[in-house]
Chain A
Amino acid sequence: QSALTQPASVSGSPGQSITISCTGTSNGVGTYNLVSWYQQHPGKAPKLIIYEDTKRPSGVSNRFSGSKSGNTASLTISGLQAEDEADYYCCSYAGSSTWVFGGGTNLTVL
């Protein structure tokens, strides 16, 4: 159950697009179409923004999109807004009913 690898921080200006990567092993990210992404503001509970690699829950802005290639999943946020400033975590099914999270990425909107 090794943690997924995410950049510690990313930044972008309002209106720009940013991408956060999430790299795992072949028995997790690359095997199952079960990567999810969560947004967490300080002092708040995480919120699901992407599930099953690319799907967006109802009510989540279409500025958030997910993709995957091999063992690397990515979250792209387009048209950055101040309220997007938060921590972002990827999570992948790791088999045998277990899950593994990435270390988290802090997004700063400049």
Chain B
Amino acid sequence: EVQLVESGGGLVQPGRSLRLSCAASGFTFDDYAMHWVRQAPGKGLEWVSGINWNSDGTDYADSVRGRFTISRDNAKSSLDLQMNGLRAEDTAFYYCAKGACRSTSCSVEYWGQGTLVTVSS
């Protein structure tokens, strides 16, 4: 059974940094692309970033490019999201999500339960 468990969320002041992690299990981690998707409380879904199976391809939504960095450690079956220069509009539940193939051009097929990031002074 695919399991994705996010951690690292919390309350952070504007301009500060936070690092999210996702522990994956139940599938061969290095056979699949991974993504981060966020959802502001009571709002819709927003794709944030994706990384392909061997980390040689990454991309970001315009809203986070230059501030967020996605990375993965296939040996540890883990996915990270380093978030710098946080803004109030980054407040959201952040979901770790598994892609359907090695490339980030395949659909997201499984989601974790999410971790809440609140950016506020």
Contacts and interface: CB of A to CB of B under 8 A. Distances in A.
Chain A interface mostly? strand
B45 A89 contact: yes
A38 B110 CA distance: 10
B105 A91 contact: no
A45 B113 contact: yes
Interface stretch (B11-19, B23-31, B57-65, B77-85): B57-65
A97 B47 CA distance: 11
A99 B44 contact: no
B60 to A, nearest CB: 8
Contacts of A46: 45, 95, 111
A39 to B, nearest CB: 11
A62 interface: no
A48 B108 contact: yes
Contacts of B109: 48, 51, 57
A30 interface: no
A96 B112 contact: no
Nearest to A36: B107
Contacts of B108: 36, 48, 91, 99
Interface string A36-62: 101010000111100110000100000
A38 B109 CA distance: 9
Interface in B50-90: 50, 52, 57-62
B107 A51 contact: yes
Nearest to A35: B107
Residue from the set B47, B60, B62, B107 with the largest chain A CB neighbour count within 10 Å:
B107
Interface string A6-36: 0000000000000000000000000000101
Contact of B44 (A1, A36, A57, A89): A89
B45 A45 contact: no
16 contacts: A36-B108, A38-B45, A45-B111, A45-B113, A45-B114, A48-B108, A51-B107, A51-B109, A57-B109, A97-B59, A97-B104, A98-B47, A98-B59, A101-B37, A104-B44, A104-B45
